[in-house]
Structure 1
Amino acid sequence: GHDPSHLAGVERVVITPALRANPDLPELVAARAAGLPIATWQAMLGELMEAEGHIGLAVTGTHGKSTTTALLGHLLEVAGMDPTVEVGAFIPSWGASVRRGAGAPFLVEADEFGDNFLHYHPAGAIVTNVEMDHPDYFADREAVLASLERFVRGMGEDPRLGGRLLLTTAADSGSQALLERLGGWQGRIVPYGPGGNIEARDVAYVGGGATFSLFEHPFVSPLAGEHNVLNATAALAMGRELGAPLAALAEGLRTFGGAGRRMELIADTAGVIVYDDYGHHPTEVRATLAAMRQKVGDRRLWAVFEPHMYSRTALFLDEFAHAFTDADEVVIVDIFASRDTDASLRATSAEALADAIERTSAVSTMAGGDVVATTAYVAEHLSPGDAVLVMGAGKSYQIAQGLKAALERGVLSQSRSLSDP
């Protein structure tokens, strides 16, 4: 438990920003009384990035940060550059969300929420895309753009990257709006993806992944979906800018094991596959379901979605209503409340979202109740050959794990059809 004795021998206290909401935590009270400096972990990471010899690198944007950061880190690792990497997801091959290296690259996933990324001053940055999100912090899209502009204008310099380097998605309207705000910014801007200076060619989606050509070199990606070709393009482009050989980049992409809760395979039992994903924005839901449909083909595809925050669900209700068209069965879990006000708690419901999806997209949709009830319902109605994609940023991972346990217990022998009462 919490105890001031934990501070024995400590010279500095590093906290998560969430602890600002709990100033009476015993360790914090004791730290303030002792005059110990207190900083967020993002501030500490920013200081480490600027240490002598490091090349500061960051991946930011509304979607795709974790996958792109983890992939770039893996590419640099395979290329022998021994990077230090921080990702907002567990990386199975590292056994952690961080990798401590002795090489020059110092790479972070730069989260825009709360302007946390303003602690970072990288010389090289990737902006994957820009959309409205985090309505509890940003008033609108313009506020998101203003925050990203501050981040880009605060970038550092490094002669090994020719000063400052910014990679942005060419076809993303939000990224284009960001570039329009950067008049007078001193640095190289390299658009990537369709319509950009760097674009994957001869893209083919095969075997649950993709093949393509980039820099006149063939690449094989284990990642499904059009959005992951973009993520890979960005990571490969930055790796090449850092001097990684194309052969090493190709080997790195081919052997990338993915990031935790990013289309992560949880179970492949009794003819049913279960995947878990962190997606909780309508753009993420739509892209991940499209990638999953590519991966599973004609299997019956269940989308089990736990909305994250009432305010986000209400704001994006129409977008969510159109995001599930690649699914055959949709189950909406009770909304996970986080940082919601009393007013936002009354703004919408899981039932309202389920109704909107079914009316708009003509996809069979129901509100499944809480995590336990949803797990039980889906488990009871699974059939051999089904594929399940569980999505959400709250407790939804428990559903994926619960379905795995149910399948291992032989639940299919007791399953009921969807027409059963």
Structure 2
Amino acid sequence: MTEHRKPNAASAAVLLDSTIHGGNDASRRNTAAPGEPGLVCDAPTVPLRDDMFVPPVNPLPPLDGLQLHMVGIRGRGLRPLAIVARHLGAQIDGCDLYGDIAHPELVAAGITVGAGHAVEHVGGRHVVTSSAVPRELPEVAAALAAGRLHHRADLLAAVMAARVSVGVTGSHGKGTVAALIAAALFQHGDDPLAIIGAPVRNFGGSVQLGSGPLVAEVDDSDGSLSRISADVGVLTNSWFDHPIFGRSLTENRRDISVFLENTPIDGHVILGRQKELRPMARRAQATVLVLGRDFEGRTHSVSRSGEVVEVTDLDGSCFDIEVNILAGNLADDVAMAFMALRSIGLSGEQAAVALSALTGISRRVEFVGEAAGVCVYDDLGKHPESLSAVIREIRKRTSGRLHVVFEPFLHADLLRWRTRWIEVLAQADSVIVLPVELRQSFPVPRRAPLDWAAALAERLINAETRLEAADVVSQIARSGDSVLIAGCVDDLDEVAPWVLERL
């Protein structure tokens, strides 16, 4: 079993060339582009939600024995943190608009969830919330006035301070990279503590409650990650990704830069291959490793539900890694996960073997099954660029046509990226479009036009319900075709099984 300690840059000196820190080499000081290529904005850059609230920085006391009430506890951002905080000794309860619907992960952890909101929830507790929760809720307002309100990032910072930690952030791929690292550590016998934003098959949920290193997916959407420090900080990429916050790409990258600067001097910062990432780590004191400059990942071969990735280590050694998942940029994700494992003490051989362990992540280019010769996949499809990469990956594995069932998540997404969504969806042979998902706890100030997808012309089929979409796509799919279900809401995963039943 690997000894769990903070990474030591000196111990890796035989592999790390002195130039990898970047220094004053002008060739490594790329300036950020004024805008991201291919991202057409169809609406002005203004906040799409006026009540977005990020509580001020408020570090938490030690977690053992601490009483915490979590507002919006069923959400994918707070639920895993609640379970992990309880594992570390905190006393946890929470409330949620949907608190009357039991969530199996919270039930299994013994965490009580109430429905609705009330000032009585506060009592003597510290209150943890997320930026998705309005500040006007009674317990949020009361906790803020009492100095006991904390953002979820304050809680994640307290959790990460307790262990040797790997924090993975970025617009896309962070969940895949974090899950690859956590599953590899588990396979290697290192008993990780993992916090992932989606259920991982290996763990049977979005958390793994171990005693070893911590691996966490770190949200980059609202700037709160600047409160967090990890021993190994991984940045996959950086795009304009959250129009609902009204934050510019420049602001978002500034806060990511602070997260990278927080990495201790004996730690590591690992960057994806996007050239705009390098200046974001310019002030980092830790060892900086860049994909495409210091190490590499390339697709060697593909299969229906995975691929073989060739990873090149810092010393030029090459490893073929058979991975049993799909992702929009899987070779890059595997290479970054490999380097994170190297940074916390695994050898190249150990990392390569262990990275084959991950068996699947819910709704992350998930191969759900095959019926009548038709392969069915499920994905979040949360951003035009990530969905475009997913479509390319599925196309590689499809001899016939590709049919996409698409449920838009936010009017903000359509208002901002309508043109780009249409360009991406036009890569499919047919697109079954559902109405915009509207189960949101905040007002929608502007709505996209009902005919936003009309430019898809003969490719477009409108469906009013998910069942109707499943009926339609199962009728038009033929042997050799693939079907992709895409949309951000977790329970959209019900559609893929319906399609398989109907084929």
Counterparts of 1:311 and 1:5 in 2: how far apart (Å)? 31
Q: Which amino acid aligns with 1:199?
A: E
Q: What are the Cα deviations for residues 181-229 of structure 1, in whole angstroms up to 9, with x where unaligned?
A: 554432222111xx32101257333454322332322221223466011
| Pick aligned residue for 1:331 from 425, 432, 435 | 432
- Which position in structure 2 is the counterpart of 1:23? 137
Q: Which range moved further: 256-265 or 207-216?
A: 207-216
Highest RCO, 1 vs 2 (Cα 8 Å, sep ≥ 6): 2
Q: TM-score, normalised by structure 2?
A: 0.68
Q: What are the Cα deviations for residues 119-163 of structure 1, in whole angstroms up to 9, with x where unaligned?
A: 32112111101110111214332222222123223x141xxxx62
Q: What percent of counterpart residues are identical?
A: 22
- Structure 1 residue 324: Cα displacement: 3.0
Tell whether the 8 Å contact from 1:138 to 1:144 is kept in structure 2 after alignment.
no
Q: TM-score, normalised by structure 1?
A: 0.81
- Which position in structure 2 is the counterpart of 1:416? none
Q: What are the Cα deviations for residues 231-284 of structure 1, in whole angstroms up to 9, with x where unaligned?
A: 000000110111113333223222311211112233433433322111220111
- Which position in structure 1 is the counterpart of 2:455? 356
- Which position in structure 2 is the counterpart of 1:415? none
- Which position in structure 2 is the counterpart of 1:47? 158
Q: Give the 3 Å change call, closer, same or farther, for CA 378–212 of structure 1 in structure 2.
A: closer
SS at match of 1:68: helix
List aligned pairs for 1:1-400, cutoff 5 A: 1-2=114-115, 11-21=125-135, 23-24=137-138, 37-51=148-162, 54-103=163-212, 105-153=213-261, 155-157=262-264, 163-170=266-273, 172-175=274-277, 179-192=278-291, 195-201=292-298, 203-214=300-311, 215=313, 216-224=318-326, 227-295=329-397, 297-337=398-438, 338=440, 342-345=444-447, 347-349=448-450, 351-353=451-453, 355-358=454-457, 364-394=459-489, 397-398=491-492, 400=493
- Structure 1 residue 331: Cα displacement: 1.6
Tell whether the 8 Å contact from 2:130 to 2:151 is kept in structure 1 after alignment.
yes
Q: Which range moved further: 235-244 or 331-340?
A: 331-340
Q: Which runs of 5+ in 1 are unaligned?
A: 413-421
SS at match of 1:136: helix
Tell whether the 8 Å contact from 1:280 to 1:392 is kept in structure 2 after alignment.
yes
Q: How many matched pairs? A: 383
Counterparts of 2:495 and 2:281 in 1: how far apart (Å)? 48
User: What is the aligned-residue RMSD (CA, Å)?
Assistant: 3.0
Tell whether the 8 Å contact from 1:205 to 1:224 is kept in structure 2 after alignment.
no
- Structure 1 residue 303: Cα displacement: 1.0
Counterparts of 1:385 and 1:6 in 2: how far apart (Å)? 58
Counterparts of 1:99 and 1:298 in 2: how far apart (Å)? 38
- Structure 1 residue 71: Cα displacement: 0.6
Q: What are the Cα deviations for residues 77-126 of structure 1, in whole angstroms up to 9, with x where unaligned?
A: 222222211011111221121112112x2221011122232332112111
Tell whether the 8 Å contact from 1:71 to 1:256 is kept in structure 2 after alignment.
yes
Tell whether the 8 Å contact from 2:485 to 2:495 is kept in structure 1 after alignment.
no
